[in-house]
Amino acid sequence: MSYKNIKEPNYNNHYNLYQMCLPLNLEYVLDEDDELFSFLKAIGEIDFSRYMKKNETRGRKGHDNFRMLKAILFAYMQHGKPSLRKMEDLCAHDVRYIWLTEEKKPSFMAFERLITEYLIADIDEIFYDITFHLVSKMDLSTENMYIDGTKVEAYANKNSFVYKNTILTNMKKMFSNMTEDIILLNQEFGYDFRYGGDYCAQEIGYISQYLMEVINSQEIDVCYGKGHRKSALQKHMDKFISYHERQSGYEYWLDVIGNDRNSCSKTDHDATMCCTKMDYYCNTGLSRPCYNLQIGVSDGLIVNADLFQRAGDVKTFIPFMERYREYRGTLPLNPMADAAYGSMENYLYCCANGMNPVMKYQNYARKNTAKFRKKKFDALNWETDDAGHKICPDGRVFSEYVGDSCSEKSGILQIRQLYREKDHCRNCQMRKECLSLKKKKGDSDDGGYRTIGKNVAAEELHGYVDETLSSEFGKNLKKLRSVMAEGAFGVLKEDRGFTRFSRRGLDNAKMEFLLVCLGFNLRKYHHWYRKKCKEKVKSLSN
C-alpha cells in the first residue's frame, strides 16, 4: 500500500490563532506592588484643575488635559525620558495607560499640543506642588539641601559654536581696515565720512547706500565677473557692502549672546558652549552646546531644580536659592555644596538670609594635601603668631602694615590688608626662591621683597567653614552631598538615560528637565511606599 504525500499549503499545520481575553478587574492583571498604585497614591490628593485650563470652544472638546498629564507623569516615572511616540504607543497597548486616559488613545501630536500650549507655562508650579506634596507624605526634612550641578548637551549641532571673543577680535580688525578705506575714499572723492573708533552696521549701510546712489546718478556701469573692469567707486561700494553684511552678523550674534555669556550655538541660541567631560581619562573633554543643570536634594528627593545658561556654578547659587524661596516660602538651614559655590558673595548671602555658610571654598581640599603642604613658601602654609601675623620659613614676622588693596567683584567690596617684613627681607638666604613664587626677581636693583595680603572677612568665613566641616556634623554633610546630589545625577544620566535634551530653547529644555526630575521623585516615592507596605505587613504578621 502506497501513501501519497500531500504538499498543498492548505494541509500544512500552522494554526496560530489565539483567543483574546481581557479581565474586567485590573487587580487580576497588575501586581500589588506595581508602580501604578503608588503613582495614584502620590498624586491622588493634588488638585490638577488649577493647571492647563482650557478656553471654552465650540466643536470637538479634545482630550482631557488632566488625564493626559497623568499619563505623561507616569511615563516619566517609568521610562525616565520617553518620547512622544513612546507615550502614544503606551496609551494604545499598555493597560495602565489605557485606564489613565479612559481608553482615548491620544496621538503623539495630542501630547505635543498639550506640552507646547499648556505644560511649558505651568511646569514650575506643577513640579513644586507635586514635590512638596511628596515631601509631606514621606515626612522628609528639608533643613539640609545638598546642591550640585552638571552639564547636559543641548539639542544642537556640536560644531555650531559662536564665541564672543572671536567676534570682538574680528570686529577690531575690521574696524581698522574700514578706517583705512574711509580715509582713502575721502581722499579720492572729497567726501567727509567719519572715520576712527567703532562703527555700527547702520552707519556702514549709509555709506554703501550713498555710493550706490552716486553710481546710479552718474550712470556708471556696474559689472561683475571675468573680463570686466570695475570702476573705483564700485570697488569701494562692494567693500562697504561686505563690511555691512559682516557687521550686521556680528551685531546679531552679540545681541543673542548677551552680557552674561561668552558663547552660544547657531542651532540653539539659548545653549552655551561648555567644556564637557568625555571619560575618566580625559577630564577636559570637548566644547559642546550645553545647559547647566542645578539640583537641590533633601533626604533623597529633588526639592529644587533649575536650568542656567552659565558655564560656571558660582553665579547660579543665589538665583537658585531665590527660586526655592519663591515657591517654598523658606530657605534651607544648611545649603551644602562643593567648592565651585564657595565665593564671598554666596557666603554673605547665606549670612544675610539666616543660612549657615557651609559650602566649601576654593582651596579647602587642596590646602590639606601632602603635595600642597610641601610648598613652604606659600603663605597658606605659614604659621601665625598671637597677633595673627604670618611667620615665613626664615622666621621673619610680617607685621609691618603697608596699606589696603580694594577690589569690587559682583558688587561685593573686598579689602585686603597688605603686610611686609620690617627689614624688607634684607639678607634673607631664601629671598630669591621665595620671590620666584610670585614671579619676581630677587636680585632686582630696587631690592624686591615679599608682601602678604590678608582678607579678614574671608579668613573668618573660611575659618567657620573649616570648623563646621571638620566636626562630625560637617563630615556627615560632606558624605551625604556625594551620595545624594551626585548620586541623583548618576541615576538621571546613567540609569534614566538623560544625557541629551530633545527640545531646543531655554523654556523647552527647562520643561523637559523638570519632568525628568518629577519622574525621579515619583519613583523614589514608589520605593518608599512599597517599603512601608512591607513593613506594615510584617508588623501585622508578628
CA 464 to chain centroid: 29
pLDDT at 28: 56
Q: Would you say the C-alpha torsion 173, 179, 182, 187 has a positive or negative sign?
A: negative
pLDDT at 401: 82
pLDDT at 23: 58
Kindly state whether residue 71 falls inside one of the protein's structural domains.
yes
In sequence order, what are the beta bridge partners of 124? none
Kindly state whether residue 336 falls inside one of the protein's structural domains.
no
Cell of 236: 569701494
SS3 of 107-143: the string is CHHHHHHHHHHHHHHHHHHHHHHHHHHHHHHHCCCCC
Distance CA(482)–CA(336), nearest Å, equals 10
Distance CA(256)–CA(268), nearest Å, equals 10
Is residue 74 a contact partner of residue 96, using CB atoms and an 8 Å limit? Answer: yes
- Nearest residue to 134 (alpha-carbon basis) of 300, 345, 348, 377: 300
- Nearest residue to 108 (alpha-carbon basis) of 81, 129, 130, 89: 89
List, in order, residues 6 or more apart from 419 with CB less than 8 Å away.
Answer: 389, 390, 398, 399, 400, 401, 402, 451, 452, 453, 454
- Are residues 170 and 97 located together in one domain of the fold? no
Ranges of the chain whose pLDDT falls below 50: 440-446
- Nearest residue to 411 (alpha-carbon basis) of 462, 454, 495, 352: 352
- Are residues 166 and 74 located together in one domain of the fold? no
- Are residues 111 and 34 located together in one domain of the fold? yes
- Are residues 248 and 189 located together in one domain of the fold? yes
- Are residues 110 and 189 located together in one domain of the fold? no
pLDDT at 252: 96
Is residue 449 a contact partner of residue 421, using CB atoms and an 8 Å limit? Answer: yes
Q: Residue 304 belongs to what H/E stretch?
A: strand 301-308
Kindly state whether residue 297 falls inside one of the protein's structural domains.
no
pLDDT digits (tens, 9 = 90+) for 417-470: 788 888 888 888 887 778 776 554 333 334 577 888 888 788 888 889 989 999
Distance CA(271)–CA(505), nearest Å, equals 7
- Are residues 133 and 74 located together in one domain of the fold? yes
- Nearest residue to 185 (alpha-carbon basis) of 217, 200, 207, 170: 207
Where among 203, 236, 265 does a domain terminate? 265
Cell of 94: 499598555
pLDDT at 24: 56
Looking at the structure of the chain, the number of domains it has is 3
Kindly state whether residue 9 falls inside one of the protein's structural domains.
no
Kindly state whether residue 283 falls inside one of the protein's structural domains.
no
pTM (predicted TM-score): 0.85
Which residue bears the cell 570648623?
Answer: 467
Kindly state whether residue 290 falls inside one of the protein's structural domains.
no
- Are residues 179 and 224 located together in one domain of the fold? yes
Kindly state whether residue 534 falls inside one of the protein's structural domains.
yes
Where among 402, 430, 465 does a domain terminate? 465
DSSP state, residue 174: H
- Are residues 181 and 257 located together in one domain of the fold? yes
- Are residues 73 and 175 located together in one domain of the fold? no
pLDDT digits (tens, 9 = 90+) for 246-271: 999 999 999 999 998 999 999 999 99
- Nearest residue to 303 (alpha-carbon basis) of 463, 498, 525: 525
pLDDT at 429: 80
Where among 421, 439, 465 does a domain terminate? 465
Kindly state whether residue 492 falls inside one of the protein's structural domains.
no
Write out the residue range of the structural domain in which residue 72 sits: 29-139+517-541
- Are residues 184 and 256 located together in one domain of the fold? yes
